[in-house]
Chain A
Amino acid sequence: MPEAIAIAQARDAVAAKPAGEVSGLTYQAGGRFLIDSINLRIPGDGITVLMGPNGAGKSLLLRLMHGLLEATAGTVRWHGRGLDDDVRRQQAMVFQRPVLLRRSVAANIRFVLKLRGRSSDQQVEQILDEVGLGGRAAQPARLLSGGEQQRLTLARALVTEPKVLFLDEPTASLDPTSTAAIETIVRRASERGTKIIFVTHDLGQAHRLADDVVFLNGGRVAEHSPAATFFDAPASQAAADYLAGRLVLR
């Protein structure tokens, strides 16, 4: 058997193995089930897009999967392990609103490198070049434009070399040029083997990025399918309504 085929088979085997397994995940607040008994198998590679109408529970599910919130019930496992400190250190998250330290661009990167026991100017330069912020290292981070700030938060997340990267509507308030830049960085990270979980409202963006789509409605998974299937022949009425631009009723 040619070596190339063996490598491809091995890669397929890894991809077939889920990166994340969510079982019976429930989050209750104020007497309401905001996330209701969700079961999911997140594929081992590519970009998983979480979609759904407002209040569907997308951001909440993202936070529960990353361990920022404690679930009322259920479990989340990544690469076969529960959400312990080691597992969480191999993950990173980018929020809708960039949260930057009141320091220079380079100091924001150096801060996380130091936390991981690494700190080299070369790494800082390299990651800044990758996100198109080369030459801006000494500038105050909070004086960058919105798009540049979000690229810096992405750089800060990626420099930790996460196995899983969560993104919560990172381009929600950005112009098309900035959005394109973010999408390019995300796609590149995915190609390098980082598992991406991406929340978006933007159908066009989901089309451009998604390998598989999890469609949430009312705190439940209405559908989880490969992107092509989801967009061409959605299995659930809620997803069909959403894609057609109709109001999605619970």
Chain B
Amino acid sequence: MQDFSHAFTLAFGLVLTADADLLEIIALSLQVSLTAVLAACVIGLPLGTLVAVGRFRGRAAVVILLNALMGLPPVVVGLLIYLLLSNAGPLGWLRLLYTPEAMIIAQTVLITPIIAALSREVIEQLHQEYAEQFRSLSVPRAAAAAALLWDARYSLLTVALAGFGRAVAEVGAVIIVGGNIDHLTRVMTTAIALETSKGDLALALALGIVLITIALSVNAAVMALRLTATRYAYA
């Protein structure tokens, strides 16, 4: 129990003194996960919208696939990306293995189905409301999709948040393709795993505190935004 409280004291000390190593790890974690969320939104939002608005053969199968892929195991994604990027793999020539870029790719693969599947649900619901009016106004399909994306923006922000939560908290994929290399590919989750195995609970706890604080802050910010939007009936 004494060790536990000592670790907490050290952890808060690291956070309060803005320890350089700690900041470096936090910065890389945010850089990797935010870039992955951005990339996943660029791919996933149009994909989700296309599935929501489009009527094509095999649509039901695509919906089932997207929903199933939301539960992709991170280690499996990590392994697949590892095989692709390793020297013997088809993309080995890019020399991306054990770089932050590889970690971004792995997290993007992991969360794109989440963004696509959840945005599909949000857009489809809104489309049901707008569809007849849009047909009556002869709104072209692309304009309809853009309007749906814009009008669902606050709900889609929550979707992006879900993706960010998954990305920033996952460890399996980034440890395989990133390698947890100090000052290069060490992010919060891989550092927590490593420091815990070494018995350095202070740094692991400090990172844990930061991780939870980030998650709470982002959630609170998005919720505040949604509440404001709802008050003005824009959400």
CB contact under 8 A between A95 and B234, given known A111-B147, A115-B143: no
> Which residue of chain A lies nearest to B234 when distances are taken between CB atoms in the complex?
A102
Best-buried of A85, A92, A102, A111 by chain B (most CB within 10 Å): A102
CB contact under 8 A between A99 and B234, given known A68-B136, A112-B137, A115-B137: no
Q: For residue A167, give the distance in angstroms from its CB to the closest CB of chain B.
A: 11
The reply to whether the CB of B132 lies closer than 8 angstroms to some CB of chain A is: yes
Q: For residue A86, give the distance in angstroms from its CB to the closest CB of chain B.
A: 9
Chain B stretch 99-143: residues in CB contact (< 8 A) with chain A: 129-130, 132-133, 135-140, 143
CA of A27 to CA of B63, assembled, Å: 31
| B139 surroundings in chain A (CB, below 8 A) | 115
CA of A101 to CA of B138, assembled, Å: 15
> Which residue of chain A lies nearest to B126 when distances are taken between CB atoms in the complex?
A102
| A160 surroundings in chain B (CB, below 8 A) | 137
Are A99 and B132 interface neighbours, CB within 8 A? yes
The reply to whether the CB of A140 lies closer than 8 angstroms to some CB of chain B is: yes
> Which residue of chain B lies nearest to A93 when distances are taken between CB atoms in the complex?
B136
| B235 surroundings in chain A (CB, below 8 A) | 102
Q: For residue B231, give the distance in angstroms from its CB to the closest CB of chain A.
A: 9
The reply to whether the CB of A89 lies closer than 8 angstroms to some CB of chain B is: yes
| B94 surroundings in chain A (CB, below 8 A) | none
Q: For residue B53, give the distance in angstroms from its CB to the closest CB of chain A.
A: 16
CB contact under 8 A between A92 and B232, given known A101-B151, A103-B151, A111-B147: no
Chain A stretch 84-122: residues in CB contact (< 8 A) with chain B: 85, 88-89, 91-93, 95, 99, 101-103, 111-112, 115
Interface size class of B (residues with CB under 8 A): 10 to 19
| A68 surroundings in chain B (CB, below 8 A) | 132, 135-136
CB contact under 8 A between A92 and B136, given known A103-B234, A143-B233: yes
Are B136 and A85 interface neighbours, CB within 8 A? no
| A92 surroundings in chain B (CB, below 8 A) | 136-137
Q: Give the number of chain A interface residues (Cβ < 8 Å).
A: 21
CB contact under 8 A between A88 and B133, given known A115-B143, A140-B232, A143-B232: no
CA of A115 to CA of B232, assembled, Å: 25
CA of A240 to CA of B140, assembled, Å: 45
CA of A68 to CA of B133, assembled, Å: 9
Are A95 and B133 interface neighbours, CB within 8 A? yes
| A140 surroundings in chain B (CB, below 8 A) | 232-234
CA of A89 to CA of B151, assembled, Å: 23
| B147 surroundings in chain A (CB, below 8 A) | 101, 111
| B137 surroundings in chain A (CB, below 8 A) | 92, 112, 115, 160
CA of A101 to CA of B133, assembled, Å: 10
| A201 surroundings in chain B (CB, below 8 A) | none
Q: For residue A60, give the distance in angstroms from its CB to the closest CB of chain B.
A: 13
A-side interface residues toward B, CB under 8 Å?
Answer: 66, 68, 85, 88-89, 91-93, 95, 99, 101-103, 111-112, 115, 140-143, 160
B-side interface residues toward A, CB under 8 Å?
Answer: 129-130, 132-133, 135-140, 143, 147, 151, 232-235
- 20 additional A-B pairs beyond A68-B136, A102-B233, beta carbons within 8 Å, are A68-B132, A68-B135, A89-B138, A91-B136, A92-B136, A93-B136, A95-B133, A99-B129, A99-B130, A101-B151, A102-B234, A102-B235, A103-B234, A111-B147, A112-B137, A115-B143, A140-B234, A142-B233, A142-B234, A143-B233
Pairs of residues from A and B, 9 with the lowest C-beta to C-beta distance, nearest first: A142-B233, A99-B133, A93-B136, A102-B151, A140-B232, A102-B234, A140-B233, A89-B138, A143-B233
30 A-B residue pairs with CB within 8 Å: A66-B136, A68-B132, A68-B135, A89-B138, A91-B136, A92-B136, A92-B137, A93-B133, A93-B136, A95-B133, A99-B129, A99-B130, A101-B130, A101-B147, A102-B151, A102-B233, A102-B234, A102-B235, A103-B151, A103-B234, A111-B147, A112-B137, A115-B138, A115-B140, A140-B232, A140-B233, A140-B234, A141-B233, A142-B233, A160-B137
